[in-house]
Amino acid sequence: MAGSPSFRPVDRVGRVERTLGGRRLAAMLPDPGTTRPVYRHLAQAISALILDGRIALHVRLPAERDLAVALEISRPTVTAAYDLLRESGYAHSRQGAGTWTALPEGARPSGVARALAPPDAAIDLARAAPGLPEQVLAEALDRAGPRLTEHAHTPGYHPYGLPELRAAVAERFTRRGLATVPDQVLVTSGAQHALTLVLGLLCEPGDRVMVESPSYPNALEAMRRARLRPVSVPVTDSGWDVEIIESTLRQAVPKLAFLIPDFHNPAGLLMPVEERVRVLRAARRAGTWLVIDETLADLALDVPAPPPFASHATPGGIGQVITIGSMSKSYWGGLRIGWLRAPARLVTELAGQRIANDLGGSVLDQLLALALLARSAELLPLRLERLREQRAALSEALSAHLPQWTWRQPPGGLSLWVDLGEPIASAFAERALDYGVRIEGGGHFAADPGVFEQRLRIPYTTSAGTLREAVQRMLAALADGLPLRSATRRPHWIA
């Protein structure tokens, strides 16, 4: 048998000491072909043999030199592969005694060889953020470059945002049905930055804030870090419960309420106009600021794009609404450009807050945003078309391979909010990473800890082929069973 190691007497803890020779291990390894880097491929192949039971545990791996000779590769390559095996828990070493096979803490031996995909090779389903076609970015750079040089002789600080961009954002609001002047616009480094500025200006630690549950995790985290007290209102598959929103506003009288009424992240829902009007009235009665996140408003896949939420307010109520928007989902998150629309007086105060924060955003990024916004009529339909195709590919693959998972098709946005039928999301996310899919359990979207263990947000922001591959990998992960521990020590971050 290719993998049978040779036996030596007994080791220090009484186990039979076994050593795998260089040529023997080489014979068990698949041909690396053109896979690069070789050391990573080698480490993955050895760990797969261990997981598959074809190399036993506590077996001494060949001396680095022997394996290098047998594989006709350099010794440092073998050293790097052994280092990676040690880092990932598939090997232990003792000075002078060699390198021994092992299993990472918490791993279960499994009949299925796991991919042990390196984190950078994992398909990223944790971030619902589409890329921008290279050509589009290159053309925007061509337009922005000469305009940047015009700014070279200026200090380059624009705490309110570049005047041209403020005007373009104001014009976009006006076109969508909410008359806006540039003085009502503050350009920020993304929607998340806009929210943190608002929280910093309007809230004190201990203040109550009304949030949806589920909601956008980074918004929830910003509130926790500002030591605010979230009061949650549910968003279910059938939408918002406006009676609960009204009674929460009446009883809790929160300082502000944060809502994502346009293709909600993660639920994908669109709040009906009558409900918007009721929420506006209730917030006005309670004296609560409404912070409306319209980051996903352009992503109307099956319905017309909604007008701004604040356009439904009566003249007296409009001063109570702060609208947040972003380039990130309609164009590209890498620009780090967002904005907020608020009464001009508040914009001035928020700009003061912003100066204390970062003095202003990058001029180049703002010029790129301008170049892209100028082409919105041409670029957005292409983005929507692509998203529809990807949503269809993801839905088909899930229906075919994971029919026990259910979801409601959202009218827009970037993701499916999938019901797994059992509370396994965290453990599943852990296992999925072993199979090369980075995804986070529904609990990250919960305002109150411990819920949505039955949910996964699956974004359709990558290509149809990648989504199909991701579903295959998730299917394999599920078939492998779930790890016993669902808690995880790896860092999470979601967009």
Residues making contact with ligand PLP (CB under 6 A): 128, 190-192, 216, 260, 265, 293, 295-296, 326, 328, 333, 338, 495
Residues 6+ apart with CB under 8 A from 322: 198, 289, 290, 291, 292, 340, 341, 342, 346
Residues 6+ apart with CB under 8 A from 152: none
Provide the minimum distance between the beta carbon of 444 and ligand PLP in the complex, in angstroms, as a whole number: 12
Quickly tell me which residue has 């929210």 as its tokens.
195
Provide the minimum distance between the beta carbon of 163 and ligand PLP in the complex, in angstroms, as a whole number: 21
Provide the minimum distance between the beta carbon of 296 and ligand PLP in the complex, in angstroms, as a whole number: 6
Pick left, alpha or beta for residue 56 (phi over 0 → left; psi -120 to 50 → alpha; otherwise beta).
beta
**Of all residues in this chain, which one has the CB nearest to ligand PLP in the complex?**
190
Which residue, 328 or 366, has its beta carbon nearer to ligand PLP?
328
Q: Report DSSP letters for 212-245, one per residue.
A: EES--HHHHHHHHHTT-EEEEEEEETTEE-HHHH
Which residue, 305 or 482, has its beta carbon nearer to ligand PLP?
305
Provide the minimum distance between the beta carbon of 462 and ligand PLP in the complex, in angstroms, as a whole number: 15
Provide the minimum distance between the beta carbon of 455 and ligand PLP in the complex, in angstroms, as a whole number: 16
Provide the minimum distance between the beta carbon of 439 and ligand PLP in the complex, in angstroms, as a whole number: 15
Q: List the Cα angle 255/204/317 in 5-degree steps.
A: 25
Provide the minimum distance between the beta carbon of 57 and ligand PLP in the complex, in angstroms, as a whole number: 43
Which residue, 84 or 260, has its beta carbon nearer to ligand PLP?
260
Is 154 exposed, middle or buried, given 0-12, 13-18 or 19+ CB atoms closer than 10 A? exposed
3-class secondary structure, 80: helix
C-beta separation of 341 from 184 below 8 A: yes
Measured CA to CA in angstroms, residue 164 lies from 148, 169, 188, 427 at distances of 13, 9, 14, 48
Q: How far is Cα 200 from Cα 355, in angstroms, rounded to an integer?
A: 13
Query: Closest Cα to residue 390, out of 465, 457, 333, 329?
Result: 465
Which residue, 196 or 248, has its beta carbon nearer to ligand PLP?
196
Which residue, 24 or 193, has its beta carbon nearer to ligand PLP?
193
Read off the tokens for 226.
């500002």
Which residue, 333 or 443, has its beta carbon nearer to ligand PLP?
333
Which residue, 332 or 407, has its beta carbon nearer to ligand PLP?
332
First to last CA, the chain: 49
Provide the minimum distance between the beta carbon of 191 and ligand PLP in the complex, in angstroms, as a whole number: 4
3-class secondary structure, 101: strand
Which residue, 338 or 442, has its beta carbon nearer to ligand PLP?
338
C-beta separation of 373 from 217 below 8 A: no
Residues 6+ apart with CB under 8 A from 119: 433, 438
Provide the minimum distance between the beta carbon of 273 and ligand PLP in the complex, in angstroms, as a whole number: 20
Which residue, 102 or 132, has its beta carbon nearer to ligand PLP?
132
Read off the tokens for 129.
């953020």
Provide the minimum distance between the beta carbon of 201 and ligand PLP in the complex, in angstroms, as a whole number: 17
Which residue, 160 or 331, has its beta carbon nearer to ligand PLP?
331
Query: Closest Cα to residue 368, out of 139, 152, 183, 158?
Result: 139
Provide the minimum distance between the beta carbon of 128 and ligand PLP in the complex, in angstroms, as a whole number: 6
| Alpha-carbon 304 to chain mean position | 26
Which residue, 68 or 324, has its beta carbon nearer to ligand PLP?
324
